[in-house]
Amino acid sequence: MPYVIHLLIMVSIYSILALSLNLVVGFTGLVFVAAAAFFGIGAYVTAIVMTSFGFNFFLACIVGALFSALIAFAIGAVLSKFRGDYYTLASVGFNIIIYSVFLNWQTVTRGPLGIPGIPRPSIFGLSFSDNFSFLILASLLVILVFLACRFIEQSSFGRVLRAIREDEKAVSVFGYEVLYFKLATFVVAAAFSAFAGSLYASYITFIDPSTFFVNESIFILAVVILGGLASNRGAVLGAAVLVLLPEALRFVGFPPDIAAQMRQVVYGLLLVILMMYRPQGLMGEYKL
């Protein structure tokens, strides 16, 4: 049972990440490969203000989201100057820069040593120190982020985002400031990703730079694509599949000496087959 609860917590964290990235990739059509950067910013800010300044988790979570949103505002203004593949490459570069900061700014982040001893959340005498109560907290946050993303999707703002995805120039002709819509979406997505980072840091109680490298951003992007672009339910489903599938393969009777390699082979093969026969993802409306 503790193992199942752990997996559900990880599904919750990656669901928040997928929902936030889906706002940028699914609804706006921007192939952003740096979700792990804002994931890491939220985690590190939360860890630092909790361990060094004694902040409560919920206040630290808000500080992390605001800090991530400010950085997103600055970076989004720069990335908006790029189009297509150049935008994707620039986002990868941003992720590498943030990773390098985590790794080398040792007076603040402790570099490769990481930050240990991050406290679990507590409020008004109610502690989330055990995994079951933490799962309830993570699930509530998933619901709040899901509802926020759904509200954005169904609003006039969301309809403009879909129009930007289909034809950015046509939207501009009708008088909409495309840059402002992209930037607002980018900032909101960064704040949501930071919430996931705060949860992760407090749950694991330790963070180090290796968690937030480009590979993690690629994995989060794969979650969104698998679940289906422009589908909030698909984002949650994609997170569940990609988090749980590797764990399910542990119980397949591969020979012990090649078990780890075979799990990766089967995992990759299943993803390739799905993308061949269902390129729009499990519940998506569009192809990337």
Q: Give domain limits for the chain.
A: 2-212
pLDDT at 165: 85
pLDDT at 287: 66
CA distances from 149 to 12, 15, 83, 242 (A): 15, 12, 25, 21
Q: Kindly report, residue by residue over 94-115, the tens digit of the pLDDT.
A: 999 999 999 999 999 999 999 9
Q: Kindly report, residue by residue over 195-209, the tens digit of the pLDDT.
A: 999 999 999 999 999
Torsion on CA atoms 229, 38, 12, 251, rounded to nearest 10: 90
pLDDT at 172: 81
pLDDT at 285: 67
Q: What does the alpha-carbon distance between residue 195 and residue 38 come to, in Å, rounded to a whole number? A: 9
Could you tell me the pTM of the whole model? Answer: 0.94
pLDDT at 51: 96
The bridge status of strand 122-123 relative to strand 206-207 is unpaired
Q: What does the alpha-carbon distance between residue 288 and residue 284 come to, in Å, rounded to a whole number? A: 10
Flag residues of the chain having pLDDT under 70.
259, 285-288
> CB neighbours (10 Å) of residue 175?
6
pLDDT at 259: 66
DSSP letter at 115 equals E
Residue with tokens 């963070």: 207
For 283, the token pair is 């519940």
